Amino acid sequence: MKKIAIIGVGHMGGAILTGLAKTKKYQLLAENHVNKRVSQLTDKYNCQLVYSISDLAKLIPDLVVITTPAAATMEIVQKLTILNKDTIIVSAAAGHSLKDYQAKLAGYQIARCIPNIPVSVNSGLTGIYYPDDLAPAAKDFINEVFHDLGEVVEVAEEQLSIVGTIAGCGPAFVDVFMDALADSGVLNGLARELANQIAAGMVKGAAQLALDSHLHPALLKDQVCSPGGTTIKGVTSLEENGFRHAVIEAVNAANQN
């Protein structure tokens, strides 16, 4: 069984750990500071937890996934030179270019990615940048692991930021949308739990239809808008209130580096 180590078991690292545990394909290792939340999660998923990079190195992972805060990442990366040279490294941490990693980790196979929180239910969308000189075996293994966690899109490094904004930040934008939908249900007398279930179920179905049909979202919208019906009135109201513009501006705001 291949060994995958996650450095930094916060929201993102925890989501990756959870999704990978469900595959039962890998031996999971994790490194984080002492933290009850982290140890509860690693216990739950039978993942070996260590508190230092030197202890992690002794376990000889095949792949290391970095999910640490941007401010702490380079300090950690500096310590990774004690890893076996065959260890593949993929960073999901924002804020540093591949060159930054390569400058500290000469000779290692390194790629960058931006996953999203739905990897915890194996329905993630991960943007990955593979440098040209990455060994095919390293690329194949990273691809396999992130495919186990959902969809993968391979992009150029300069596109990682916008892909990460749409797919990585996007779940929070959709969560705000679902919360607002549920609020409107509650306003109209639905119980909160039922309103949440309806909002999430609808979003799941609309996304599945878009994926399966490959139809442009505008055409899918047209299928719902009966002439003179209720939906077109709602869509008109969204347009009057600048919904599209608000979404585009939200992505632009989040994509400022």
Ligand X SMILES: NC(=O)C1=CN([C@@H]2O[C@H](COP(=O)(O)OP(=O)(O)OC[C@H]3O[C@@H](n4cnc5c(N)ncnc54)[C@H](O)[C@@H]3O)[C@@H](O)[C@H]2O)C=CC1
Among 4, 5, 6, 7, binds ligand X (CB under 6 A): 7
**From 35-43, 164-172, 184-192, 242-250, span contacting ligand A1CAB (CB under 6 A):** 164-172
Residue of 67, 70, 72, 79 whose CA lies nearest to 113: 67
Nearest to 54 by CA among 28, 27, 78: 78
User: Cα(120)–Cα(123) distance, rounded to whole angstroms?
Assistant: 7
Phi, psi of 128 (to 5 degrees): -130, 135
Residue 103, Ramachandran bin (φ over 0: left; ψ between -120 and 50: alpha; else beta):
alpha
Does residue 55 interact with ligand X by CB under 6 A?
A: no
| Identity of the residue, 95 or 242, whose beta carbon is nearer to ligand X in the bound complex | 95
In this structure, how many other beta carbons lie within 10 angstroms of the beta carbon of residue 14?
22
Residue with Cβ nearer ligand A1CAB (169 or 232): 169
Q: Which does 72 bind (CB under 5 to 8 A by kind): ligand X, ligand A1CAB, none?
A: ligand X
Binding segment for ligand A1CAB among 34-42, 119-127, 162-170, 183-191 (CB under 6 A)? 162-170
Single out the residue of 168, 178, 182, 195 in contact with ligand A1CAB (rule: CB under 6 A): 168
Cβ of residue 113: shortest distance to ligand X, in angstroms? Answer: 8
11 has binding-site annotation? yes
Q: Using an 8 Å Cβ cutoff, are 154 and 130 in contact?
A: yes
